[in-house]
Every structure is written in C-alpha cells, then in structure tokens.
Chain A
Amino acid sequence: MNKRKCDKCDQPATHHSVEILKGAKIEKHLCDLHAGEEGLAIKAVHTPINELLTHFVKLHSGAPAARPDRQCSSCGLNFSQFRASSLLGCPHCYEAFENQLKPMLELAHDGGDHHVGKVPLRDDAIERGEQLQLQVMSMRKRLAQAVASEDYELAATLRDQIGRLQEQQP
C-alpha cells in the first residue's frame, strides 16, 4: 500500500477516517500529531506511554529544518535535545515549549491538560517558585561566567545573593 501523507503535513498518515456528511463523503488522512489535534487519535491509544513517547519523538525528529529549533531562555535546552532524551531541562521549559508539549501531554495523559490535584501547602509557593526559577537561574549563569572570567568578587556577591534568595522561608 502506498504511504499516504498526512492531509496537514508531510508526515505519513497513520489515522484514516471516512465520514458521510449530508450525502458527501469526507475522507481524512492524518499523522499522529494532527489526528490528536482533531480528536481522532486519543481514543485509539492502547500503547504504553514509553512507546508513545519514543514514537512521538521519532515522528518529529525528522521535522523540516526550516522550522527554527526553539530554545528555553532559562536553561538553554533546545527542543531537539528534548526530542532526543524525552527529558526537559528545567521547570521553565514547560512554558518555553508550551505549544509543542501540549499535544504530547494530552496524548500521554488521556486528554488531561491541567492539574487538578494537590497544591503545595505554602501559599507563596507558586509565586516564589516562578520568581526563583527565572531570577536565580539567570544569576547562576552570571555566577558561572564570573568564575570563568576570574571575577571572584562578583562571584562571591552573586553566590551570597543566590543563597539568600533560596533560603527565604515562609
């Protein structure tokens, strides 16, 4: 059988459907990603998540080079690196790659797309967490640069500041 391409991109189509709408026949041929977006694939998934992930990762590792590789501004991870390892680099990656991760999360979590469970007891946790994430991570980068350029005075100051920020207790 000929390998039919997805109606929406150049990936091989893995989901096929035929609908009859007001007497007209509508055929759809979609890849995993676009089938997921159309809501076609979610129910058909009986594969363990590890396999799904690997499959997903493979499916998209041959993505057109024209599309620029996105990068997390906090830890510097490229999306292609995530594809290779299935591991993100830091908490901020979830924001940096939000659009790319969305279909994958829905596939892995049976359509689940937002948290409904436990929340940390500290009410300032979310706000402080986000502040720490961006501020401290960038300070740590400057610290590494300061050490590399042997600016030990700056390095010491930065180290103290990072220590103070992370020590703050409720």
Chain B
Amino acid sequence: MSFGNITQHAGEWLRGQGPQSDIVISSRIRLARNLAGFSFVNRADVVEQRDVLDRCRREITDRLPDGEVIWVDLNQSTPLDRQILVERHLISNQHAKSKAELPRAVAIGADETFAIMVNEEDHLRIQVLRSGMQLAEAFEQINRMDDTLGQHLNYAFSKKLGYLTACPTNVGTGIRVSVMLHLPALKLTGEIEKVKRAAKDLHLAVRGLFGEGSDALGDFYQISNQVTLGRTELEILADFQHSIVPQIIAYEQQARAALLRDRPAQLDDRIWRAWGTLTNARQLGTEEVLTLLSHLRLGINMGRIDKTDVATLNQMLLLSQPAHLQRLCGKEMDQAERRQARATLMRQKLGFA
C-alpha cells in the first residue's frame, strides 16, 4: 500500500471541525459482524480464515460506493505501517499485533471516514469516524454500508440474540457508539472522577485516547456504550445525543467558567507554561507532549492565547506519535532520538525553529 500522502494530513478524527468540536473531538460507531457457516476468528483454522478474508475483500471492494477503498493486507505490511494505522485510529492495537500467520486486513475509505477490519476479534468490524459531534451522520453512513454488505454476505444472526459475535458482550446489535471528549477543566478541578462514576452507573465505558486499556492521555476521554442486547441502535444513539454528551459538555463548560472566575492566574500559568515548553524544549516524550498540547488547546478554546490554532495542534498531536514521527523523518529511531526529533518538530510547527 502507499502511505505517500496519508501521513501528510491529520485524518478525519483530528480534522478539528464539526459541531461542538471545542469539546467533542470525534464521533465513532462500529458494528461487529460475522459470517454464518464459519467458526469465529479465534477458533478458525487458516483455511477458513483465508476464505473469510477473500469473501469479505470481494464484497467490500466491489460493493461499497463510498469513494475509493484502500485495501491493506496487514500480513504484507511492516510493523511501522501497522502502527501508523493504529495512531490514526483506523485499526486496533490487537489487529496490528496479532499473530503473524493470521490472514487479516483493513479496508480504509480514501477520506478515512471509515475502516473495516477483517479477521480482528470478529470477521468484520465496520467503523465510521467523524470529527466533532456527528453521531447521526456516522450512523447513517455505517447503516448504509452494513445494509450493502449484508445483502451479499450471510451474517450470523439469530432471531433471539441478534448479530452473533465472538464475545458475548457485543451480541445483539453489535454496536459500539463512542465519543472522544477533551475534558481538561474537569481534570484540573478533579470533577472528572464524578463524571467517570456517573458514566459507569449508566453502563458506559470510559477509556483513553487509544481505546481499551489506554490511559486518558492529554485529557482525552473516550466514552462508549457497553450494553448491546435488549436496546435498539437508535435508543443507544439517542442516549448519547440527547443526554450523555450534552450533560458532559455542560459540566466541562461550567468547570472552564469556574477556573476562569476563581483561578485565572493558575489557568493562564498552565497555558503559557505549555507554550513555553513546546517552543523551547529540546527533548520531549509522547505523554508530555499530549499534556502540553491539551493545555494549549484549552487556552485556544477559551481565548486565552492566540499564537496558534486547533488545526495545528491536531497535526502536532498526530505527528508526534512514534510511528508518524519516524515516517516523517524517514528513518527508524530509538526512543532518545525520537524525543529530540519530537521537540524539534514541535518548535517547527509553532514557528520557533
């Protein structure tokens, strides 16, 4: 595959546009589907896995009208290319790192608004990504794609339990609705713990930047549904649109207002220290960059600093990730070299190098 220009721009989830994009970074929906007549991926032998992959490739590349589809055979790609796809949120860590002999792939929309993982935990993991709060648009797109593929692939489906998935926690609709939220003020005021507890009471999962098992680096929180059985797709979606997301946005806005009212000096200090470090540091780690970019993003969105814009920050966020950084510099680098290259890149992007 050619990554020639894919690493040059920020991709859909970091486009920094769309409704409420000062807090809602991106909207994501995924559907888990399996083909009838086959074992699930973890129990299938290589012949079956290959058969599933071939069938899915044929239908995906022939039937999907959504512009150009890039088919990436992950067995043929390098670990660095796979890591780039993880950093762009197009495949999961698990899909990047599973056993070398497992035939697996991802079909990516040329505009990066969708990615279909084949032979991850389920035969198909269809996902649609949009920047900002665009769950309705994302659902419309994924539902259409699912209808198209479902007319030509025999999905494993039961009247009682719905779409059958390898893990029973996904059975039913097989849907996972997630929003990536930037909640720096709730983090600074410590109220984020309350939000997390409330989310858990509502059977929602709160995860970090890179999904399952990752920390909330850079004050990014990914909130997603866990219940997939006994509720319709639209009910699950409506919870996010009308109650969960608006409430968390309101809390974050209140926390931002409170910071400005009660602790303006402390707030500005954070923002300007971030600016100072990013424009001067000679060595920077990934986590540190995420924290600094988070404070700067808060400053821009609150109108406390106007030296750069959110689009630039999004680009910096993506390019500072290990695989993107190495691709950008055109060579493999160890951690120490990456720390230096990362600091240089940050200064360049902010006009200080």
Contacts and interface: CB of A to CB of B under 8 A. Distances in A.
Interface of A: 46-50, 53, 75, 77, 85-91, 94-95, 101, 104-105, 108-122, 125-126, 128-130, 132-133, 135-137, 140, 144, 165-166, 169-170
B231 A87 contact: no
B229 A77 contact: no
Interface residues of B, number: 51
Contact of A115 (B166, B226, B229): B229
B230 A109 contact: yes
Contact of A121 (B39, B150, B229, B233): B150
Contacts of B34: 91
A72 to B, nearest CB: 9
Given A48-B200, A109-B229, A115-B161, A132 B154 contact: yes
A94 B172 CA distance: 12
Contacts of B205: 48-49
B55 to A, nearest CB: 8
A146 B154 CA distance: 26
A105, A115, A116: residue with the most chain B Cβ atoms closer than 10 Å: A115
B226 A108 contact: yes
B167 A87 contact: yes
A129 B155 CA distance: 7
Nearest to A76: B43
Interface string B139-172: 0000100110011101111111111101111011
Contacts of A109: 172, 227-230
Chain B CB within 10 A, most for which of A49, A86, A117:
A117
A39 B43 CA distance: 34
A56 B164 CA distance: 20
Given A48-B205, A109-B228, A87 B40 contact: yes
A120 B228 CA distance: 16
